[in-house]
Structure 1
Amino acid sequence: MNHPVKEILVPVDGSDNANRAVKFAAGMAAALGVPMRLFYVFPAASVEVIGMAGMSRDDIDHAAQAAAQRAFDKTREALGDDAPKDIEEETSIGDPAEEIVRYAEDDPGVMVIMGRRGLSRMKSLVLGSVSDKVSRHAKSPVTIIT
C-alpha cells in the first residue's frame, strides 16, 4: 500500500458477519485516528427481481434508503456504547462488490473491512461472493472478518 489509511469503509447489510466486521473496524479506526464510514449497497438485482423496474427513480431511491437505514440501525445497535460518535453513512445502488471496489478506487486512502458473508442465501465454501470479489479486485487494503 502506497497511501496512508485515511478512512475505514465498512460495507454493512445487517448480518452478524457485518456486525462483527464493524466492531473490529471501530477499534481499528480509533487506533489509527481515522473516520469510519458505513456503506450499504442496495443490490441492483433486487430492483429487477422484486418488480421495481417500473418504479420511478425516486421510489427506488426511497426503497434503497429504507433498506440502508435498517442495516445502519442494526449496525449501530451491535456497536452499542462502543459506537464512534463520527460514523458516516453512505448508500449506493448497484452490484455490491463493484460499488465497494469503485468507492475504494475513488480514494486510495480507504481501507475496507468487511464480513466474510452477508445475508445472501447463496452459500460459498470459503468466502461470500461479495467479499471474494472485493478482495480480488480492490486496489486498497481489504480485511475480511470471519
Structure 2
Amino acid sequence: MFGSKNKEPTEIYLENEKVDLSALPTLTRSQLATYNGNDKPQLYVGIKGVVFDVTANANSYGAGKAYNKFVGKDAGRLLGLNKLQLKEEDGDPQNTWDLSSLNEKQLKVVDDWIEFFKMRYPIVATVVEK
C-alpha cells in the first residue's frame, strides 16, 4: 500500500476524537479542488466526505510529490483501489469519490485509510454534493 501505513506515527493527532463533523464547514467538490497548494496554500485530502488538512506534510503531498494526486479531491475510491490515478477500466477516471463499485475488502481499505489520516491530520471540513 501507499507510504508508511504500517509504521508507527511520529505524532498521533488526538484532536480528531473531539471533532463534531456536523459543526464543520462544508465544501463542494469544486471548492475542495482549490485546496491544492496553488489556488489556495492549504493541501486538503478528502476521504468518504471527511476533509483532512495535510499541509504539514507538504514533502509528501505538495506539488510534484508522490501523493499529490490525492490533494484537492475526495480520494476514497483511489485509496480503495490502491491507485494514484484511475484509468478507463476503473470507470470514470474523474470520479475519485464514488465507492459504490468497491467490494467489501476495498471498503475496509478505505476505512483503514480514514483511521490512518485521523491519527495524523486535522479534520477541517466535510464534502457536500452540489
**Under a length normalisation based on structure 1, what TM-score does the superposition of the two structures give?**
0.25
Higher CA-based Rg: 1
Structure number with the higher helix fraction is 1
TM-score, normalising length: structure 2: 0.27
Greater fraction strand? 1
